[in-house]
Amino acid sequence: MSDLLDGRTAVVTGAAQGIGLAIATVLADHGARVTIADLDGDKAAAAAAGIGENARGVACDVTDEASVAALVRDAVDAYGGLDVLVNNAGITRDASLKKMTLENFQAVITVHLQGTWLGIRAASEVMREARRGSIINISSMSGKVGNPGQTNYSAAKAGIVGMTKAAAKELAHHGVRVNAIQPGLIRTPMTEAMSAEAYAATEATIPMRRAGEPDEIANVVAFLASDLSSYMTGAVLEVSGGRGM
Ligand code: NAP
């Protein structure tokens, strides 16, 4: 599609489906070589095969320190470096405060916050050495406005914003940029699990009057991954059709 990311290498977590798969596809379309990481290694490999020769799929659990370290090491070995990390893997365990268990709370906090932190820490080691790199963290509008039934997820996604800014300040003088995206309602397996009423009610609050498509997040990731955004770090971009502005 373009040579915007020619010669660049990227790792995208949680990329066997949904927004992550769209990100991996768009980065590869712009010339990057992409490692797709997901819990299910076979699903990641199948997703990579769908993209073609510029993609590979591996198993990784972002909550596991050794697994994330192996992911980064393996990506560097395969492609000779790491220019872009997209911390995209995510889960929801929605419930009201009355019904949410501590386990539901901890699972969501661990995947989003610990997972993103482990990714930033491992990738920045490589990027600092190379004196270049772009890390993109997928937050959510839930982290800005808070959603009922998502005390766990909203806290985790707001935490990703603070983590992004702190890491951006630590890494800026090493040539490594760290930015975040806050998607609004995007049509993926995650949101297909919502009830039709909840989905329609959310869609009705969007000024653009429609849910977004995964590609509409992926295109913003490509911008942040590339030199087009060379003077941006610590930024949080809302990609929500105007919802929550
Ligand atoms: P999705 O379709 O559920 O895809 C998420 C992927 O992450 C799945 O393949 C999932 O695997 C994987 N994953 C879960 N836990 C993991 C772990 N510990 N290690 C590695 N991979 C793991 O979700 P999505 O809608 O594409 O969401 C992608 C990101 O965007 C998430 O961070 C989400 O919070 C964020 N987001 C989504 C929306 C939206 O409207 N869809 C809005 C705002 C933000 P399994 O299927 O095996 O669990």
Neighbours of 131 (CB within 10 A): 10
Question: Looking at the domain assignment, is residue 215 inside a domain?
Answer: yes
Question: Looking at the domain assignment, is residue 244 inside a domain?
Answer: no
Measured by CA distance, the residue closest to atom 8 of ligand 1 is 14
Mutation probe of ligand 1 site: the residue of 39, 42, 163, 164 with most atoms within 8 A of C-beta: 39
Domain region containing 149: 9-239
Whether 69 is in the pocket of ligand 1, judged by its Cβ within 6 Å, is no
Query: Six-digit token pair at 6?
Result: 């020619």
pLDDT value, residue 105: 98
Question: Looking at the domain assignment, is residue 164 inside a domain?
Answer: yes
Query: Which CATH number belongs to the domain containing residue 122 in this structure?
Result: 3.40.50.720
- The residue behind tokens 């985790």 is 156
Q: How far apart are CA 60 and CA 122, in angstroms?
A: 13
pLDDT value, residue 96: 98
Question: Looking at the domain assignment, is residue 35 inside a domain?
Answer: yes
- Catalytic site residues? 153
pLDDT < 70 positions in the chain: none
How do residues 12-35 score in pLDDT, each as one tens digit?
A: 999 999 999 999 999 999 999 999
Total domains in the fold of the chain = 1
Question: Looking at the domain assignment, is residue 4 inside a domain?
Answer: no
Whether 19 is in the pocket of ligand 1, judged by its Cβ within 6 Å, is yes
How do residues 178-216 score in pLDDT, each as one tens digit?
A: 999 999 999 998 898 888 998 999 999 999 999 999 999
pLDDT value, residue 193: 86
* Closest residue by Cα to residue 140 from 152, 124, 128: 152
Contacts of 174 (CB under 8 A, 6+ apart): 124, 127, 128, 131
pLDDT value, residue 132: 98
Whether 94 is in the pocket of ligand 1, judged by its Cβ within 6 Å, is no
Question: Looking at the domain assignment, is residue 1 inside a domain?
Answer: no
**Ligand 1 atom closest to Cα of residue 22:** 26
